[in-house]
Chain A
Amino acid sequence: MDEQDKPLSLVLFSGTDDKLNAAAVLTVGAAAMGRPVNLFLQYYALDAFRTGNLCADHALSPEATEAQAPVVRAHPGLHWSELLKQAKDVGEVNIQACALSMDMFHLKQADLDSLVDGVEGVAAFMASASEGQVVFI
Protein backbone atom coordinates (compact mmCIF):
# COMPACT_ATOMS: atom_id res chain seq x y z
CA MET A 1 0.00 0.00 0.00
CA ASP A 2 1.29 3.48 -0.87
CA GLU A 3 2.21 5.51 2.23
CA GLN A 4 -0.19 8.23 1.10
CA ASP A 5 -3.12 5.79 1.00
CA LYS A 6 -2.63 4.34 4.49
CA PRO A 7 -5.08 5.39 7.18
CA LEU A 8 -4.17 8.19 9.56
CA SER A 9 -5.24 7.43 13.10
CA LEU A 10 -5.40 10.17 15.69
CA VAL A 11 -5.87 9.64 19.40
CA LEU A 12 -7.57 12.76 20.77
CA PHE A 13 -6.75 13.00 24.47
CA SER A 14 -6.69 16.76 25.12
CA GLY A 15 -9.99 18.57 25.26
CA THR A 16 -8.81 22.14 24.73
CA ASP A 17 -10.03 24.04 21.69
CA ASP A 18 -6.53 24.60 20.26
CA LYS A 19 -5.60 20.91 20.30
CA LEU A 20 -9.02 19.85 19.02
CA ASN A 21 -8.62 22.38 16.22
CA ALA A 22 -5.13 21.13 15.34
CA ALA A 23 -6.49 17.57 15.21
CA ALA A 24 -9.45 18.65 13.06
CA VAL A 25 -7.13 20.41 10.58
CA LEU A 26 -5.03 17.22 10.24
CA THR A 27 -8.23 15.23 9.79
CA VAL A 28 -9.67 17.42 7.06
CA GLY A 29 -6.33 17.55 5.23
CA ALA A 30 -5.87 13.79 5.28
CA ALA A 31 -9.49 13.20 4.26
CA ALA A 32 -9.17 15.67 1.37
CA MET A 33 -6.06 13.80 0.18
CA GLY A 34 -8.00 10.56 0.12
CA ARG A 35 -6.64 8.93 3.27
CA PRO A 36 -9.04 7.16 5.61
CA VAL A 37 -8.94 8.81 9.05
CA ASN A 38 -9.74 7.18 12.40
CA LEU A 39 -10.26 9.34 15.48
CA PHE A 40 -10.24 7.76 18.94
CA LEU A 41 -11.67 10.04 21.63
CA GLN A 42 -10.25 9.64 25.11
CA TYR A 43 -10.41 11.51 28.41
CA TYR A 44 -10.89 15.28 28.03
CA ALA A 45 -11.36 15.17 24.26
CA LEU A 46 -14.28 12.79 24.71
CA ASP A 47 -15.96 15.24 27.09
CA ALA A 48 -15.89 17.92 24.38
CA PHE A 49 -18.01 15.63 22.13
CA ARG A 50 -20.92 15.39 24.57
CA THR A 51 -24.21 16.51 23.04
CA GLY A 52 -24.54 20.28 23.29
CA ASN A 53 -20.94 20.69 24.44
CA LEU A 54 -19.13 20.99 21.09
CA CYS A 55 -19.26 24.76 20.88
CA ALA A 56 -18.70 25.48 24.56
CA ASP A 57 -15.47 27.23 25.55
CA HIS A 58 -12.95 24.43 26.04
CA ALA A 59 -10.11 26.83 26.91
CA LEU A 60 -6.57 26.56 25.53
CA SER A 61 -3.73 24.23 26.40
CA PRO A 62 -1.26 25.30 29.11
CA GLU A 63 1.45 26.07 26.55
CA ALA A 64 -0.58 29.02 25.22
CA THR A 65 1.08 32.11 26.72
CA GLU A 66 -0.84 35.21 27.81
CA ALA A 67 0.29 36.92 24.62
CA GLN A 68 -0.65 33.99 22.36
CA ALA A 69 -4.06 33.13 23.80
CA PRO A 70 -5.94 36.19 22.43
CA VAL A 71 -4.35 35.64 18.99
CA VAL A 72 -5.51 32.02 18.93
CA ARG A 73 -9.00 32.96 20.08
CA ALA A 74 -9.34 35.77 17.52
CA HIS A 75 -8.34 33.62 14.54
CA PRO A 76 -11.25 33.48 12.08
CA GLY A 77 -10.90 29.82 11.00
CA LEU A 78 -13.80 27.38 11.21
CA HIS A 79 -14.63 25.76 14.55
CA TRP A 80 -13.10 22.31 14.94
CA SER A 81 -16.52 20.66 14.88
CA GLU A 82 -17.25 22.27 11.50
CA LEU A 83 -13.87 21.10 10.18
CA LEU A 84 -14.73 17.56 11.26
CA LYS A 85 -18.08 17.79 9.46
CA GLN A 86 -16.25 18.95 6.31
CA ALA A 87 -13.80 16.07 6.69
CA LYS A 88 -16.65 13.56 6.92
CA ASP A 89 -18.22 15.16 3.88
CA VAL A 90 -15.14 14.86 1.64
CA GLY A 91 -13.63 11.64 2.89
CA GLU A 92 -13.75 8.53 4.97
CA VAL A 93 -13.61 9.62 8.61
CA ASN A 94 -14.53 7.31 11.46
CA ILE A 95 -14.90 8.86 14.93
CA GLN A 96 -14.99 6.39 17.81
CA ALA A 97 -15.26 6.99 21.54
CA CYS A 98 -12.87 5.03 23.78
CA ALA A 99 -14.86 2.49 25.78
CA LEU A 100 -12.66 2.98 28.85
CA SER A 101 -13.19 6.76 28.87
CA MET A 102 -16.94 6.30 28.32
CA ASP A 103 -16.98 4.09 31.40
CA MET A 104 -14.84 6.50 33.43
CA PHE A 105 -17.19 9.42 32.80
CA HIS A 106 -20.38 7.29 32.98
CA LEU A 107 -21.32 8.13 29.39
CA LYS A 108 -23.56 6.28 26.93
CA GLN A 109 -23.42 6.79 23.17
CA ALA A 110 -26.74 8.64 23.43
CA ASP A 111 -24.89 11.30 25.48
CA LEU A 112 -22.55 12.05 22.57
CA ASP A 113 -22.95 14.28 19.54
CA SER A 114 -23.90 12.57 16.27
CA LEU A 115 -20.40 13.30 14.90
CA VAL A 116 -19.32 10.29 16.96
CA ASP A 117 -19.90 7.09 14.98
CA GLY A 118 -19.61 4.60 17.82
CA VAL A 119 -17.84 3.28 20.90
CA GLU A 120 -14.94 0.85 20.66
CA GLY A 121 -12.08 -0.59 22.64
CA VAL A 122 -8.41 0.13 22.05
CA ALA A 123 -7.77 -3.15 20.24
CA ALA A 124 -10.49 -2.37 17.69
CA PHE A 125 -8.95 1.08 17.18
CA MET A 126 -5.53 -0.48 16.62
CA ALA A 127 -7.05 -2.90 14.14
CA SER A 128 -8.49 0.07 12.20
CA ALA A 129 -5.11 1.83 12.34
CA SER A 130 -3.57 -1.25 10.67
CA GLU A 131 -0.35 -0.19 8.87
CA GLY A 132 -0.89 3.55 9.20
CA GLN A 133 0.54 6.00 11.69
CA VAL A 134 -1.01 6.59 15.12
CA VAL A 135 -0.70 10.16 16.38
CA PHE A 136 -1.49 11.17 19.97
CA ILE A 137 -2.81 14.68 20.55
Chain B
Amino acid sequence: MSTVAIDKTIDARGMACPGPLMNLIGAIRQGQVGQTFEVLSSDEGSKTDIPAWVAKAKQELVEVRADEGFSHFIVRKVR
Protein backbone atom coordinates (compact mmCIF):
# COMPACT_ATOMS: atom_id res chain seq x y z
CA MET B 1 0.00 0.00 0.00
CA SER B 2 1.10 3.49 -0.74
CA THR B 3 1.27 6.09 2.00
CA VAL B 4 1.00 9.06 -0.36
CA ALA B 5 -2.06 11.24 0.28
CA ILE B 6 -4.22 11.39 -2.87
CA ASP B 7 -6.42 14.38 -3.71
CA LYS B 8 -8.17 12.76 -6.65
CA THR B 9 -8.34 9.24 -8.05
CA ILE B 10 -9.11 8.71 -11.74
CA ASP B 11 -10.36 5.20 -12.38
CA ALA B 12 -9.55 4.71 -16.06
CA ARG B 13 -9.49 0.91 -15.94
CA GLY B 14 -10.90 -0.57 -19.13
CA MET B 15 -10.22 2.59 -21.15
CA ALA B 16 -8.24 2.23 -24.37
CA CYS B 17 -4.97 4.03 -25.06
CA PRO B 18 -4.58 7.04 -24.82
CA GLY B 19 -7.72 7.52 -22.68
CA PRO B 20 -6.13 7.22 -19.21
CA LEU B 21 -3.42 9.74 -20.11
CA MET B 22 -5.98 12.17 -21.54
CA ASN B 23 -8.03 11.92 -18.34
CA LEU B 24 -4.91 12.63 -16.27
CA ILE B 25 -4.07 15.67 -18.42
CA GLY B 26 -7.60 16.98 -17.96
CA ALA B 27 -7.48 16.52 -14.19
CA ILE B 28 -4.07 18.19 -13.87
CA ARG B 29 -5.21 21.14 -15.93
CA GLN B 30 -8.20 21.66 -13.67
CA GLY B 31 -6.32 20.96 -10.43
CA GLN B 32 -4.24 23.16 -8.15
CA VAL B 33 -0.45 23.16 -7.80
CA GLY B 34 0.50 20.79 -4.99
CA GLN B 35 -2.41 18.40 -5.56
CA THR B 36 -1.72 14.69 -6.07
CA PHE B 37 -3.58 12.59 -8.60
CA GLU B 38 -3.82 8.84 -8.89
CA VAL B 39 -4.67 7.13 -12.20
CA LEU B 40 -5.76 3.50 -12.23
CA SER B 41 -5.14 2.08 -15.69
CA SER B 42 -5.23 -1.35 -17.27
CA ASP B 43 -3.95 0.04 -20.58
CA GLU B 44 -0.41 -1.18 -21.33
CA GLY B 45 0.31 2.06 -23.17
CA SER B 46 -0.08 4.02 -19.95
CA LYS B 47 3.12 2.42 -18.60
CA THR B 48 5.13 4.33 -21.17
CA ASP B 49 2.79 7.24 -21.94
CA ILE B 50 2.16 8.58 -18.45
CA PRO B 51 5.88 8.78 -17.47
CA ALA B 52 6.70 10.32 -20.89
CA TRP B 53 4.00 12.96 -20.56
CA VAL B 54 4.88 13.75 -16.93
CA ALA B 55 8.52 14.32 -17.93
CA LYS B 56 7.57 16.49 -20.91
CA ALA B 57 5.03 18.51 -18.91
CA LYS B 58 7.56 18.85 -16.04
CA GLN B 59 5.17 17.45 -13.45
CA GLU B 60 6.25 14.95 -10.79
CA LEU B 61 5.82 11.18 -11.04
CA VAL B 62 5.56 10.18 -7.39
CA GLU B 63 4.95 6.47 -7.77
CA VAL B 64 4.08 3.70 -10.24
CA ARG B 65 2.79 0.53 -8.66
CA ALA B 66 1.53 -2.68 -10.30
CA ASP B 67 -1.71 -4.16 -9.03
CA GLU B 68 -3.76 -7.11 -10.24
CA GLY B 69 -4.42 -6.44 -13.92
CA PHE B 70 -3.80 -2.70 -13.68
CA SER B 71 -1.31 -0.11 -12.42
CA HIS B 72 -1.46 2.91 -10.11
CA PHE B 73 0.24 6.06 -11.37
CA ILE B 74 0.60 8.80 -8.77
CA VAL B 75 1.39 12.23 -10.17
CA ARG B 76 1.81 15.53 -8.33
CA LYS B 77 0.98 18.81 -10.05
CA VAL B 78 4.06 20.97 -9.39
CA ARG B 79 3.52 23.78 -11.89
Name A's B-contacting residues (CB within 8 A): 4, 25, 28-29, 32-34, 75-78, 86, 90
Size band of the interface chain B makes with A = 10 to 19
Supposing A4-B56, A33-B52, A33-B56 touch, asked if A28 and B22 sit within 8 A by C-beta, the answer is yes
Supposing A86-B22, A90-B22, A90-B25 touch, asked if A33 and B53 sit within 8 A by C-beta, the answer is yes
Q: By the criterion CB–CB under 8 Å, are A78 and B16 in contact?
A: yes
Q: By the criterion CB–CB under 8 Å, are B53 and A32 in contact?
A: yes
Cα distance A27–B56 in the bound complex, in angstroms:
16
Q: Which residues of A contact B17 (CB under 8 A)?
A: 25, 77
Cα distance A34–B56 in the bound complex, in angstroms:
8
Q: Chain A: which residue is nearest B23 at the CB level?
A: A86
Q: By the criterion CB–CB under 8 Å, are A78 and B25 in contact?
A: no
Cα distance A28–B56 in the bound complex, in angstroms:
15
Supposing A33-B52, A34-B56 touch, asked if A76 and B25 sit within 8 A by C-beta, the answer is no
Q: Chain B: which residue is nearest A4 at the CB level?
A: B56
Which 5 pairs, one residue from A and one from B, show the smallest C-beta to C-beta distance? A77-B16, A33-B56, A86-B22, A90-B25, A28-B18
Q: Chain B: which residue is nearest A5 at the CB level?
A: B56
Q: Chain B: which residue is nearest A78 at the CB level?
A: B19
Q: Which residues of A contact B19 (CB under 8 A)?
A: 77-78
Cα distance A34–B17 in the bound complex, in angstroms:
18
Contact with A along B1-30 (1 / 0, CB 8 A): 000000000000010111101100110000
